[in-house]
Chain A
Amino acid sequence: MRIPLLAAALAASSFAAAAQDMTVARGLAAGCAICHGTQGKVAPGAPLIALAGLPRDYIATQMRAFRDGKRPATVMHQIAKGYTDAQIDAMAAWYAAQPR
């Protein structure tokens, strides 16, 4: 009995931790919405690519390229410098999980 209970408790706590992580990522990502749209959806014809549903690794790589000056930008090089690697990864995972 002990082992399944422990496993269930571990699973529940890791589920709660994952939910907490996504809540944190959602809060971080909400800051981007003033230009990138609610939940990463942009209007047709907008001069920005929609972030919703883009591959996680692509978003994270581009953010690091902006931050490190490897991808030219008007503003994103200045914004990306405000975030840690962990925060970039969290936001990338959250945007990747949004429906297109």
Chain B
Amino acid sequence: MKRRDFLKLAGAISLAGCATPTPSKARVVVVGGGFGGATAAKYIRLWDPSIDVVLIERETSFTSCPISNLVLAGYSSMQDISHGYDGLRRHGVQVVQDEAVAVDVARKTVRLARGGDVAYERLIVSPGIDFMFGEVQGYEPAMQSGAVLHAWKAGPQTVALRRQLEQMRDGGVYVLSIPLAPYRCPPGPYERMSMVAAYFKQAKPRSKVLVLDANPDVTSKGGLFKAAWKDLYGGVIEYRGGAKVVAVAPGSVRTEFETVRGDVLNVVPPHRAGDIAAKSGLITTNNRWCDVDWRSMESKAVKGVHVLGDATLSAPGMPKSGSMANNHAKIAAAAVVELLNGRTPAPPKIINTCYSFVSQKEAIRVSSVHEWDGKTLTPVKGAGGVSAARSEAEASFAWNWAKTIWTDSLA
């Protein structure tokens, strides 16, 4: 079926409602094809093929943030981290390449940028993050001229940052600025600085990595990261905690205390739930995050709408990670399937596992198990922890995790 025909069909159903004969039990619409949305679409079809699933995603393929730091070092490629949506189509998911621009929660329809509405019985919104550029003075013009990058959504900015690192003179300074937590992927910035340091050590040994962290100290796997920096990258990395970047200009960034010069500026601004969450009235907390009922991922603001992934107001001890978005999706998929079949969803229990590379061949890990405690999801006491030490074995499991979660989410 051509896309245009599908939209006509979608329009017809949304207008005619139950007058249109339909063999399916119900239609679930999923907005966003990242780790959360893709997994939700797949698992609903796996667990109840009589439910129609429509996935609305503006890109033609998925680009993974996990492993993108290895692309910056030249240890992996954009091809490795890019995955199409044909795997979801094979599960019977209708993938619509378009942008969801509005949700009418009263009519239960999603408006598409190219025109047309898609009606839903239940809606799953997995919008990821958008950036609060206004928090860093001068950011947007500097980004538009290429003078500063975030590369905190894998894609064109990943390619641009790799190119800037390749073109930088030996003896140059790469500046990475980390926003205050909560942000996407707590260990991600520390993996990134390790990967850039590994690249410099090998290709531009007189160069420096300067890290300005708005947080007082390393927010994830601190002992393991610091040991790797000391052992592997002495003289390359300088880490400053409690250094919040408030302004950027070509060639320099300004913290609350000083102006710092750099050749490559990688400033990650603070973020919030993606735009469509804000436009749909799903943001509940600090104008940034979406609070949910963790038994079903249903929004606390809008009934019948489930929110997944980095956009959620994180439960205690829960990171914003790909593993968590994938697991949120399974909570939502189970709840949607049970509710549409007139049953009550079981209390969830999920696992987080995040690997970080500290060199081309060695990685470290943090894990936790989260269960329903009657109010929210909390880490199970006594379970979880970090790697005993960095190792090649953990790097092998890290690659297995990446390849497996890409398949589990998208194929």
Contacts and interface: CB of A to CB of B under 8 A. Distances in A.
A16 B51 CA distance: 21
A76 B47 CA distance: 27
Given A43-B403, A79-B367, A83-B369, A34 B349 contact: no
B263 interface: no
Interface of A: 20, 23-24, 26-28, 30-39, 42-43, 46-48, 74-75, 78-83, 87
Nearest to A48: B400
Interface stretch (B210-218, B229-237, B276-284, B379-387): B379-387
A25 B388 CA distance: 30
Contact of A79 (B351, B396, B407): B351
Interface residues of B, number: 42
B170 interface: no
Given A27-B348, A79-B383, A33 B408 contact: yes
Nearest to A67: B383
B194 interface: no
A34 B404 contact: yes
Q: In this complex, which of B338, B353, B371 has the most chain A Cβ atoms within 10 angstroms of its Cβ?
A: B353
Interface stretch (B115-123, B180-188, B322-330): B322-330
Interface of B: 42-43, 46-47, 323, 326-327, 330-331, 334, 338, 343, 346, 348-351, 353, 365, 367-369, 371, 380, 382-385, 387-388, 391, 393-394, 396-397, 400-401, 403-405, 407-408
Contacts of B42: 38
A47 B353 contact: no
Contacts of B43: 30
Contact of A35 (B349, B394, B400): B400
Contacts of A79: 351, 353, 367, 369, 383-384
B382 A81 contact: yes
B171 to A, nearest CB: 39
